[in-house]
Amino acid sequence: MLRVVGFASRLCRGPARQLSAAAASPIPAPNPSPEIAYNKIFINNEWHDAISKKTFPTINPATGEVICQVAEGDKADVDKAVKAARAAFQLGSPWRRMDASHRGKLLNRLADLIERDRAYLAALETLDNGKPYSIAYLVDLDMVVKCLRYFAGWSDKFHGKTIPLDGDFFCYTRHEPVGVCGQIIPVGHLIKKAAAESNLKRVTLELGGKSPNIILSDADMDWAVDQAHFALFFNQGQCCCAGSRTYVQEDIYNEFVERSVEKAKSRVVGNPFDFKTEQGPQVDEEQFKKILGYISTGKREGAKLLCGGNPAADRGYFVQPTVFGDVQDNMTIAREEIFGPVMQIMKFKTIEEIIERANNSKYGLAAAVFTKDIDKANYVSQALRAGTVWVNCYNVFGAQAPFGGYKASGNGRELGEYGLEAYLEVKNVTMKIPQKNS
């Protein structure tokens, strides 16, 4: 799917933060058959059919049934959207002349509307991608609202500076929007290639990951097992920053594996609209088959299948929570992003060894270390080559903190003040100051 927007920041997406005290709040009962009110392309504040009149089916991953037909945009629709966005960006346009504080007010208004329709939007999300309704309601929608309100606050505060330039000059900077921005989700590698072959388009990319989750022998065992499970299985394992390489120090390895297998076996897989469900279906049939293929590869290459490994239902794209032990770094399941509920647990001896192994990956999106020793925590977190390092926690996100990767995990950052930089040009204005009255 391709979305073209004006010169505004994108909404928060992707991996969500941990469930917090919000989980104690009452959640309205879901409507498992929400009305599909909009299935067209939104351009210039209006809904449009695709110019080609083409549509594509969107599938309920819990049943394999068609939810509805959705307008299928192509180049002509993109051109139409870009034309509208460029008109909004023209010098003297109502949007360009709008006060920055008023733009912030509009973002807050959008957040208000999302809060108003939170249950409906959560039900649509669950119907469309299989995410448990309680997670969609408590986590995803909560993060969207907080993200909008955070950047609404920045609208009249991300200002330039005055600079004490040598000589009789007054120098200041302005932060100005780059112009029309295209948001394409996902296909990041294709975007990077296309940008390189064109006219030096600026790109920010949040790509894949194979994030190491390091459990030192002095870690709180109960907490480390819980968090490692959460790090991998949250969102059916479909998180780019999932803790998909679980490294456990050798003297606690056996106990950790035993507890992790027990926890995976007790994970509730089923109807995503049921409040008891912890894991819904994978997002589509292609991903479902891909995950089962990786499981077969893991077994074939000698990893020890400790639980799961099969479809979890007769229909729909459900995969059993799966745990592999005795995984080696050179195995396919230890090197490639599976993007599913497949946990790989590996053994290590020393901190120096694990730092080298953790960094020996083309990815560098996220990492974590669990330890009670603050010196070890600081040492490991500084040594890891990753855009986010969690210490004694995992999947903790906030609109205020930057997110992005090293190496093949992406370019640039989303969220926080750093997330604004990709959307701005910095203009230097220097004025001659006369030293005499003429």
- Is 353 a known active-site residue? no
CATH architecture of the region 212-399: 3-Layer(aba) Sandwich (3.40)
* pLDDT the model gives residue 423: 93
Topology of the domain comprising 2-204+414-430: Aldehyde Dehydrogenase; Chain A, domain 1 (3.40.605)
Residue (of 9, 11, 71) closest to 43 by Cα position: 71
310-341 residue pLDDT tens? 999 999 999 999 999 999 999 999 999 999 99
pLDDT tens track for 383-399 = 999 999 999 999 999 99
* Range 260-285 average pLDDT: 98
pLDDT score for 302:
98
Task: Identify the active-site residue in 206, 278, 337, 414.
Answer: 206
- Overall average pLDDT of the 360-382 stretch: 98
Average pLDDT over residues 331-356: 98
The confidence score (pLDDT) of residue 284 equals 96
For the segment 181-201, what is each residue's pLDDT rounded down to a tens digit? 988 776 555 555 666 567 657
Sign of CA dihedral 219, 224, 225, 231: negative
What are the start-end ranges of the E strands in 49-137? Answer: 55-60, 65-71
Domain positions in the chain: 2-204+414-430, 212-399
Q: How far apart are CA 283 and CA 35, in angstroms?
A: 20
pTM, whole model, 2 decimals?
A: 0.90
pLDDT, averaged across the chain: 92
Percent of the chain with pLDDT over 70: 91
Same fold, 2-204+414-430 and 212-399: no
Distance CA 108, CA 138 (A): 19
